[in-house]
């Protein structure tokens, strides 16, 4: 595996790899790898001739009161894990490489960034995500880019950027990877103490309760949300948001007559967690 830190070295390494033929798969990350990241790398490895992983804690997607300085970082460990998964190029740039002096461009996506995490973290968050991902796409020019479904809104935003700018890359979403007890894997999970870790399980239980209600025939969004909220209350978790949204454009849903994205965010202790589930009403033959 080649570790590169400059844009010039990245572009040269990718150009050399393309000479060998095959597609290029990109896995954009902020590091602190867990099984979710490794799953993305494996998916990329299975399908592409060259796998590029970026490792960059992107400052532009963090607000002033957010956890940029405490975000977990361990490049040596991450590099070893990436190498074990057969990654070809690990791009670990400095902030100055990604945003050199005079950098003045921001990618803003309207509509789908105004709700959920966009509403609570502020417009800077998805502006930062869209800008850094677009920059990575321009540098690597991947055929396929891999993202985890845990960040469902991020996937929707990136797909909108790709569609609107006609970028020649396919965005592949990979299902959420969970711990044995159901907690969605996240780099921030390391900040949970024993009590917070147990309370955090309420997020996935709430999603499961909503699916149970839908499977039982409930179609009213308020009733489905109430079923999910009951499990959050039982866990002592007050959600930042708990909403049912259209999985394509994120407009709010009042009835579940088709698949719906149930998304939740909550601070458990000092740690902000997100999770989601696609709720699919059973067809008449399934009922």
Domain of 255?
A: 187-279
Would you call 70 helix, strand, or coil by DSSP? coil
- Matching residue, tokens 């159901």: 182
pLDDT at residue 65, rounded to an integer: 78
Asked which of 147, 174, 201 is the last residue of a domain, the reply is 174
* Ordered per-residue pLDDT tens for the chain, 287 residues: 999 999 999 999 999 999 989 999 999 999 999 999 999 999 999 999 999 999 999 999 998 878 899 899 999 999 999 999 999 999 999 999 999 999 999 999 999 999 999 999 998 999 999 999 999 999 999 999 999 999 999 999 999 999 999 999 999 999 999 999 999 999 999 999 999 999 999 999 999 999 999 999 999 999 999 999 999 999 999 999 999 999 999 999 999 999 999 999 999 999 999 999 999 998 765 44
Q: pTM (2 decimals)? A: 0.95
Contacts of 61-64 with CB under 8 Å at 24 or more apart are 61/124, 61/125, 61/126, 61/127, 61/128, 61/129, 61/132, 62/125, 62/128, 63/121, 63/122, 63/124, 63/125
Report the CATH number that the domain containing residue 266 is assigned in CATH.
Answer: 3.30.1300.10
Query: Is 204 found in the same domain as 126?
Result: no
Contacts of 3 (CB under 8 A, 6+ apart): 79, 89, 90, 92
In a domain? residue 284: no
Same domain, 78 and 170: yes
Total domains in the fold of the chain? 2
Question: What's the DSSP call for residue 284?
Answer: T
Mark which of 125, 143, 174 sits at the end of a domain.
174
Residues 111, 246: one domain?
no
Among 257, 261, 225, smallest CA distance to 246 is for: 261
- Do 162 and 27 belong together in one domain? yes
Active centre residues (catalytic): 37
* d(C-alpha 235, C-alpha 231), whole Å: 6
| DSSP β-bridge partners for residue 50 | 24
Contact 32, 58 (CB under 8 A): no
How confident is the model at residue 190, as a pLDDT?
92
Provide the pLDDT for residue 285. Answer: 54
Domain with residue 31: its CATH number is 3.40.50.620
């Amino acid at each position: 595996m080649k570790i590169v830190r400059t844009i010039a070295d990245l572009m040269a390494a990718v150009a050399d790899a393309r000479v060998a033929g095959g597609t290029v798969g990109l896995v954009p990350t902020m590091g602190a790898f867990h099984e979710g990241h490794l799953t993305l790398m494996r998916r990329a490895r299975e399908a592409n001739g060259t796998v590029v992983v970026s490792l960059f804690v992107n400052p532009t997607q963090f607000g002033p009161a957010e956890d940029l300085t405490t975000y977990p970082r361990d490049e040596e460990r991450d590099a070893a894990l990436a190498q074990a998964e057969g990654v070809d190029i690990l791009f670990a740039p400095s902030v100055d490489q990604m945003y050199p002096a005079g950098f003045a461009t921001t990618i803003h996506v309207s509509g789908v960034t105004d709700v959920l995490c966009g509403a609570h973290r502020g417009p800077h968050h998805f502006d930062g995500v869209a800008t850094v991902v677009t920059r990575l796409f321009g540098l690597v020019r991947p055929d396929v880019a891999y993202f985890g479904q845990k960040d469902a809104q991020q996937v929707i935003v990136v797909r909108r950027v790709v569609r609107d700018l006609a970028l020649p890359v396919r965005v592949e979403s990979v299902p959420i990877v969970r711990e044995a007890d159901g907690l969605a894997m996240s780099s921030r999970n390391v900040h949970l103490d024993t009590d917070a870790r147990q309370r955090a399980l309420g997020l996935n239980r709430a999603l499961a309760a909503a699916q149970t209600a839908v499977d039982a025939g409930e179609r009213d969004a308020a009733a489905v949300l109430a079923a999910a909220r009951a499990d959050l209350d039982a866990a002592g978790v007050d959600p930042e948001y708990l909403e049912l949204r259209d999985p394509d454009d994120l407009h709010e849903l009042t009835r579940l007559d088709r698949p719906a994205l149930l998304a939740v965010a909550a601070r458990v202790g000092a740690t902000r967690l997100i999770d989601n589930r696609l709720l699919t009403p059973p067809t008449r033959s399934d009922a």
